[in-house]
Amino acid sequence: MNAIKRNNVKVLGRGKKAMLFAHGYGCDQNMWRLITPAFQDDYQIVLFDHVGNGQSEISAYNRTKYSSLKGYAEDVLEICRELGVKDVVFVGHSVSAMIGVLAALEEPDRFEKLVLIGPSPCYINHDDYVGGFSRGDIEELLESLDSNYLGWSSTMAPVIMGNPDRPELGAELTNSFCRTDPEIAKHFAHVTFLSDNRADLPKLKTPSLILQCSQDVIAPECVGEYVHRTLANSRLVVMKATGHCPNLSAPEETIAAMKTFL
């Protein structure tokens, strides 16, 4: 099966340079609908779903391949190769920020710039590194997710989204989580929350924009500052937007920061 079919790839826009959008955990390409119109005149927009999400081919899921984020990074590279695109602007939200970093390390000439929205190289605190969670926190989170995925989704999605004064945003994320294949979602959660890509960051030379939200429970501000300190060629923008999904909660601010960087 080719990557275009496997990952439900959609291409739109009137530009020549490719801008590839990679969604976060429990989401799909629809999460970019408020962002992409601002770039369609100037870029070739490439959207896709990670396997197990959206309209991807679930039959293509390979537990061994996707036991680390490198499997997802390989999918990104396969999509780029099949489309024949280079000098790509990669836009990755949440866990896909690190997936983009891994893809750019594997094929640095493939990517011109990275936009990393709410990135975290490691969610668990280690010595002097603060990821935002203790190992016990993460183990408890994963245990809850494994035992009752739908219940976990309805509880956690609004917390991840933030913006309690706009409950429709939390409801959208909850619905997105609940549409994801539960068994794949459980495995992807373990891969995501137990990953540690801190050692990869100093190797990256691709110019990168870090978009850091305020009051983000998944990737707190200290994590964004760490990523900025560790990436040699990066710019950090601390947004007024709160929560973990500014692509939905603050599209105008997200677009403005991206356009300034690009």
Q: Is 244 a catalytic residue?
A: yes
The reply to whether 228 belongs to the active site is no
Strand order from edge to edge, sheet including 88-93: 10-12, 43-47, 17-22, 88-93, 111-117, 208-214, 234-242
Q: Which of 93, 216, 228, 249 is catalytic?
A: 216
Q: Which of 56, 94, 153, 249 is catalytic?
A: 94
Q: Which of 23, 50, 93, 244 is catalytic?
A: 244
Largest distance between two CA atoms of the chain: 48
By annotation, the residues acting in catalysis are 94, 216, 244
